[in-house]
């Protein structure tokens, strides 16, 4: 399916998705509440068939926290990029997609560990790389650590 048709299809599924121009992949910003349902449809509908989540990233844009999903379909060979944003830096939460793409289980744990974004309904949300009693989330822009980070 080429990008124009795909764009119409996504906007049809989630009308208040925000399309971003001039990006490498077809990119939408999805409201957090609609993400899980959209993800389910993206995987289950046969003309979309996005079964391969090849990258799941968390980004700290200082005003908001963002989760970026890169999806691909192994049957139709089309790709898609979705972003979900949350303003809440203390308790920001996004729905998990690990019941749809199993690879998300570890990726979401990593995002929780390093950026502090919670994922609701995740089966085992705990820190992945750092110790259980670590305070703070290192990948955040406002993270300060005099011991471990050397500022030149």
Partner 1 sequence: MKEIINLPVKNVEEEEYHINMGPQHPSTHGVLRLVVSLQGEIVKNLKPHCGYIHRGIEKMCEKDTYPQIIHLTDRMDYLSAHINNHAVCLLVEKALEVEVPERVKYIRTIVDELNRIASHQLWWCSFGMDMGGLTCFFYGLRDREKILDIFEESFGSRLLHSYYTPGGLMMDIHPDFQKNVKAFIKYFRKKIKDYDDLLTGNVIMQLRTKGVGILSKEDAISYGVTGPSGRASGFSCDVRKHHPYGVYDKADFKEILGTTGDTFERYMMRMHEMHESMKIIEQLIDNIPAGDYTAKMKAVLKLPAGEYFQRVEAARGELGVYVVSDGNKSPYRMKFRSPNFSNLSVLDHISRGCKIADLVAIGGSLDYVIPDIDR
Decide if residue 125 touches partner 1 (CB under 8 A).
no
In the window 4-33, what residues touch partner 1 (CB under 8 A)? 22-25
Positions of E strands within the chain: 18-20, 27-30, 52-61, 64-72, 79-86, 93-95, 118-120
CB 108 within 8 A of CB 100: no
Nearer to partner 1, 35 or 109 (CB): 109
Question: Residue 79 CB, nearest distance to partner 1 (Å)?
Answer: 9
Those residues with Cβ within 8 angstroms of residue 81's Cβ, 6 or more apart along the chain or in another chain: 23, 24, 25, 26, 27, 28, 68, 69, 70, 71
Contact string (CB under 8 A) for partner 1, positions 130-149, x = contact? xx------xx--------xx
Binding partner 1 (rule: CB under 8 A), the pick from 35, 60, 82, 85 is 60
What CA–CA distance (Å, rounded) separates 92 from 140?
13
Residues in contact with partner 1 by CB under 8 A are 22-25, 51-55, 57, 59-60, 68, 70, 74, 77, 101-103, 105-107, 110, 114, 128-131, 138-139, 148-149, 152
């Amino acid at each position: 399916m080429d990008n124009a048709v795909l764009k119409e299809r996504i906007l049809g599924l989630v009308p208040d998705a925000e399309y971003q121009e001039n990006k490498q992949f077809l990119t939408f910003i999805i409201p957090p509440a609609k993400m899980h349902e959209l993800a389910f449809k993206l995987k289950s509908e046969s003309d979309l068939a996005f079964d391969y989540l090849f990258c799941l990233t968390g980004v700290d844009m200082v005003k908001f926290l963002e989760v970026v999903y890169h999806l691909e379909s192994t049957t139709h060979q089309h790709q898609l990029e979705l972003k979900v944003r949350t303003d809440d830096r203390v308790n920001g939460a996004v729905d998990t997609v690990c019941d749809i793409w199993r690879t998300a289980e570890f990726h979401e744990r990593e995002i929780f560990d390093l950026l502090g974004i919670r994922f609701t309904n995740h089966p085992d949300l705990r820190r992945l790389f750092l110790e259980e009693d670590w305070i703070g989330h290192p990948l955040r822009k406002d993270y300060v650590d005099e011991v471990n980070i050397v500022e030149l």
